[in-house]
Amino acid sequence: MAKDIFFTQVTIPPSDWQITHKDRILLIGSCFTDEIGKRLEISGYKTMKNPFGTVYNPVSIANLLIRSAAKTPFEDKDVILSGEFYYLFQAHGDVRGVSMRECLQNANAILDKVNDYIKQTDVIIITLGTAWSYWYKEGDILMANCHKIPQKFITRRLLTVEQTVSSLHLMTESIKQINPSVKFLYTLSPVRHIKEGFYDNKLSKSVLALAIDEVIRNNNDSYYFPSYEIVNDELRDYRFYAKDMVHINETAVDYIWQRFGEVYFSLEEQLLNDKYIKLHLMQSHRPFNPDSDGYKKHLQKIKQLQQSLIIQ
Tell whether 274 and 206 lie within a shared domain. no
* Structural domain contains residue 4: no
Sheet hosting strand 96-97, strand order edge to edge: 79-82, 85-88, 96-97
Tell whether 228 and 304 lie within a shared domain. no
What is the average pLDDT across 213-219?
A: 96
Tell whether 298 and 186 lie within a shared domain. no
Alpha carbons 258 and 230: distance in angstroms, whole number: 11
Beta strands 24-29; 46-49: pairing state: parallel
Q: What is the CATH number of the domain that holds 213?
A: 3.40.50.1110
Task: For residue 172, name the pLDDT band (cuts at 50, 70, 90).
Answer: very high
Going by C-beta distance under 8 Å and a sequence separation of 6 or more, which residues neighbour residue 8?
A: 233, 234
Q: Are 55 and 92 a contacting pair, CB within 8 Å?
A: yes
Tell whether 81 and 118 lie within a shared domain. yes
Tell whether 200 and 142 lie within a shared domain. yes
Q: Are 131 and 164 a contacting pair, CB within 8 Å?
A: yes
Tell whether 294 and 187 lie within a shared domain. no
Q: Are 74 and 88 a contacting pair, CB within 8 Å?
A: yes
Q: At what angle do helices 58-70 and 100-120 cross, to 10 degrees?
A: 80
* Structural domain contains residue 1: no
Taking Cα atoms as reference points, which of 184, 194, 90 lies closest to residue 132? 194
> For residue 1, what pLDDT is reported?
43
> For residue 6, what pLDDT is reported?
65
pLDDT at 278 over 90: no
Tell whether 261 and 273 lie within a shared domain. no
Task: For residue 292, name the pLDDT band (cuts at 50, 70, 90).
Answer: confident
* Structural domain contains residue 209: yes
Tell whether 193 and 157 lie within a shared domain. yes
> For residue 193, what pLDDT is reported?
80
Choose the most confident range, by mean pLDDT, from 28-37, 61-70, 227-236, 271-280.
61-70
Q: What are phi and psi of 79, to 5 degrees?
A: -120, 145
Cα–Cα distances in Å, from 32 out to 18, 54, 211, 221, 228?
21, 9, 19, 22, 10
What is the average pLDDT across 197-209?
A: 94
pLDDT at 8 over 90: no
Q: Are 264 and 223 a contacting pair, CB within 8 Å?
A: no
* Structural domain contains residue 6: no
* Structural domain contains residue 17: yes
Task: For residue 295, name the pLDDT band (cuts at 50, 70, 90).
Answer: confident
- Nearest 5°: the CA angle 220, 259, 38 is 90
Q: What is the pLDDT of residues 82-121, one digit of tens each?
A: 999 999 999 999 999 999 999 999 999 999 999 999 999 9
Tell whether 310 and 260 lie within a shared domain. no
What is the average pLDDT across 7-36?
A: 92
Tell whether 248 and 281 lie within a shared domain. no
* Structural domain contains residue 2: no
pLDDT at 3 over 60: no
Helices (H) and strands (E) in the chain, counts: 10, 11
* Structural domain contains residue 7: no
What is the average pLDDT across 176-201?
A: 92
Final residue belonging to a domain, choices 226, 245, 265: 265
Q: Are 11 and 1 a contacting pair, CB within 8 Å?
A: no
* Structural domain contains residue 161: yes
Number of domains in the chain: 2
Alpha carbons 28 and 56: distance in angstroms, whole number: 9
Beta bridge partners of 124: 26, 184
> For residue 71, what pLDDT is reported?
97
Alpha carbons 252 and 235: distance in angstroms, whole number: 8
Alpha carbons 176 and 186: distance in angstroms, whole number: 16
Range of the domain at 311: 267-312
**Which of 17-31, 90-104, 194-208 is predicted least confidently?**
194-208
Tell whether 152 and 299 lie within a shared domain. no
Helix, strand or coil for residue 188? strand
Tell whether 160 and 31 lie within a shared domain. yes
